[in-house]
Amino acid sequence: MKIKKPLNFTRLRKKASAIFEAIPEWRQASKISISLHDVLMSGLACMHFQDSSLLQFQKRLQEDEHRNNLQTLFGVEDIPKETQMREIIDGIDSEHFRPIFVSVN
């Protein structure tokens, strides 16, 4: 019997990041301003922080604390706007996310 390691935030984040990197880019290269990885990791951060506005949360944190959790915790370079994030994530086949759930099962 294989014993799985306990799930923790770092392990989940690294696994999600690797899976997000493997999702094929379908957008036109000339129209991409934010990487697919940044969009997906921002979505994961949005769920983690449970803030109604991810962008406003990060701006407040940057102004107040001079640091940005999306960069330090999630490796996000460019923060997408919420509508942009929703549109991009909606365009991804949900099957691409299955490996995340299988790996932590």
Looking at residue 16, its amino acid is A
Please compute the mean of the pLDDT values over residues 68-81 and round it to a whole number. Answer: 81
Tokens of 84: 């942009």
- Reported confidence tier of residue 73, pLDDT bands at 50, 70, 90: confident
Nearest to 20 by CA among 34, 1, 37: 37
Share of the chain above pLDDT 70, in %: 77
First-to-last alpha carbon distance for the chain, in angstroms, is: 15
Inform me whether the pLDDT recorded for 12 exceeds 70.
Answer: yes
Nearest Cα to Cα of residue 76 among 62, 63, 95: 62
Lowest mean pLDDT among 17-21, 45-49, 95-99: 45-49
Q: What is the model's pLDDT at position 4?
A: 66
